[in-house]
């Protein structure tokens, strides 16, 4: 983002050596788990494992997380697997779990890619509540269980393209933002949706830091038609497992056709507004980060190009540079939202 341009990023930061060493072990562990499940299919815990095995991907057995509270386990026992085709499944090689959970941007925990996983040990995603405010018939402060209760969870495998010109392919677990929004009955004045992240200086060292550049809370926003698009996803899990803190537990947005900074993490407030909200990166550096932030290979960042990206994981020997596609490859689903708009001006 503001701090590092892509060429400043040392490849050794991207995939720690240990991750690669351990990967063979993970593969062998998952194989053993599958064999074990087949042998003992009558046990209830194994039945859950089998539901999980229909998913496109599961977290390595030895890295699975404890549920944030007991009710989460029931929700995660029955996740609808991603289909075999676009747009909810990309067919590309998945970015390994270890990279998805150790190479992160979450400035509340620090500005380096490893900070969110290293510095989030005391962060708690339970209990959690979300304030629904503004232009809706049913505003209020809802606890997370009530927010999630009516939603069946599904898996979606999306590309994530960061404005820093790296990308991943990630199997999320969650539900459509549109389904959540409809429950609160937005009024006809609701033209934009604004989101805010929790501010907890005690467990988030990036917030306490004297070098912090963000004015907290981290804020993001979408136009109402963007928020209601079927691609826009509220994620509560990744790789068939509960979201770890570094990926935005307990609930974060995923907007796959926009640069990653729109996908705000650890959401505590959703506000429906008539006017366009201010957003964190746009406030900090408006010439570099627009409100729309649609992935666009034709509009370069003032300090680096946007027509290619590094698909992670990347090693010294595999540069993994690929071409960036308009709307991150989701043009069929979303280009019509911007008909008639000059995307070089509304970047």
What is the binding site for ligand MTE (CB under 6 A)? Answer: 1, 104-108, 160, 162, 197, 218, 247, 260-261, 263-266
Q: Which is nearer to ligand MTE, 265 or 310 (CB)?
A: 265
Shortest distance, position 23 Cβ to ligand MTE, whole Å: 19
Q: How far is the CB of 260 from ligand MTE (least distance, A)?
A: 3
Determine the Cα–Cα distance for residues 207 and 211; give it in Å rounded to an integer.
9
* DSSP output for 26-75: HHHHHHHHHHHHHHTTTSHHHHHHHHHHTSS----GGGPPPPSSHHHHHH
- Minimal distance in Å, beta carbon 187 to ligand MTE? 27
Which residue has the closest beta carbon to ligand MTE? 260
Q: Measure the CA–CA gap between 201 and 179, rounded to whole angstroms.
A: 32
**Based on CB atoms, which residue is closest to ligand MTE, 104 or 229?**
104
Nearer of residues 49 and 249 to ligand MTE, judged by Cβ:
249
Closest CA to 14 of 325, 328, 319: 319
- Distance between CA atoms of residues 272 and 274, nearest Å: 7
Q: CB of 195: closest distance to ligand MTE in angstroms?
A: 9
SS3 166: strand
CA gap 159, 169 in Å, rounded: 4
The 10 Å Cβ neighbour count of residue 266 is: 25
Separation of alpha carbons 60 and 76, rounded Å: 16
255: nearest Cα among 211, 292, 206: 292
Q: Compare residues 148 and 255 and give the one whose CB is closer to ligand MTE.
A: 255
Please, which residue, 1 or 33, has the CB nearer to ligand MTE?
1
Helices (H), the chain: 11-14, 17-39, 44-53, 70-76, 97-100, 115-118, 144-148, 177-183, 205-208, 224-227, 280-284, 331-334
Contacts of 65 (CB under 8 A, 6+ apart): 59, 241, 242, 244
With respect to ligand MTE, which residue has the nearer C-beta, 49 or 296?
296
| Nearest distance, CB of residue 188 and ligand MTE, angstroms | 30
Q: How far is the CB of 168 from ligand MTE (least distance, A)?
A: 6
CB of residue 339 to ligand MTE, shortest distance in Å: 27
Nearer to ligand MTE, 49 or 312 (CB): 312
* 43 Cβ neighbours under 8 A, 6+ residues apart: none
Q: Do β-strands 233-238 and 241-242 pair in parallel, antiparallel, or remain unpaired?
A: antiparallel
**Smallest separation, CB 331 to ligand MTE (Å):** 20
- Encode burial over 312-345: b for 16+ CB neighbours within 10 A, e otherwise: bbbeeeeeeeeebbbbbbbeebbeebbeeeebee
């Amino acid at each position: 983002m503001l701090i590092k341009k892509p060429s400043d990023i040392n490849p050794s930061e991207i995939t720690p050596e240990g991750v690669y060493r351990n990967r063979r072990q993970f593969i062998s562990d998952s194989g053993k788990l599958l064999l074990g499940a087949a042998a003992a299919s009558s046990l209830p815990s194994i039945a859950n494992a089998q539901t999980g095995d229909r998913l496109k991907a599961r977290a390595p057995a030895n890295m699975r997380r404890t549920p944030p509270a007991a009710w989460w386990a029931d929700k995660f026992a029955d996740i609808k697997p991603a289909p075999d085709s676009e747009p909810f499944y990309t067919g590309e090689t998945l970015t390994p779990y270890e990279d998805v959970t150790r190479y992160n941007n979450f400035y509340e925990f620090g500005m380096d890619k490893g900070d969110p996983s290293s510095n989030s040990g005391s962060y708690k995603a339970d209990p959690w509540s979300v304030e629904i405010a503004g232009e809706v018939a049913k505003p209020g402060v809802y606890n997370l269980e009530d927010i999630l209760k009516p939603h069946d969870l599904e898996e979606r495998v999306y590309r994530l393209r960061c404005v820093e010109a790296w990308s991943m392919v990630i199997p999320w677990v969650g539900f459509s933002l549109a389904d959540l929004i409809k429950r609160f009955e937005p009024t006809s004045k609701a033209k934009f949706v604004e989101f805010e992240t929790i501010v907890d200086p005690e467990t988030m060292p990036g917030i306490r830091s004297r070098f912090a550049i963000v004015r907290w809370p981290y804020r993001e926003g979408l136009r109402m038609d963007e928020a209601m698009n079927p691609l826009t996803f509220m994620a509560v899990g990744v790789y068939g497992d509960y979201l770890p803190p570094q990926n935005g537990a307990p609930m974060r947005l995923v907007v796959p056709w926009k640069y990653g900074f729109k996908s705000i993490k650890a959401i505590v407030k959703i506000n429906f507004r008539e006017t366009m909200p201010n957003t964190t990166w746009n406030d900090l550096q408006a010439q570099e980060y627009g409100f729309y932030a649609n992935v666009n290979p034709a509009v370069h960042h003032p300090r680096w190009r946007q027509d290619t990206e590094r698909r992670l994981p990347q090693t010294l020997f595999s540069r993994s540079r690929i071409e960036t596609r308009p709307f991150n490859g989701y043009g069929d689903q979303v280009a019509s939202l911007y008909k008639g708009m000059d995307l070089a001006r509304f970047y």
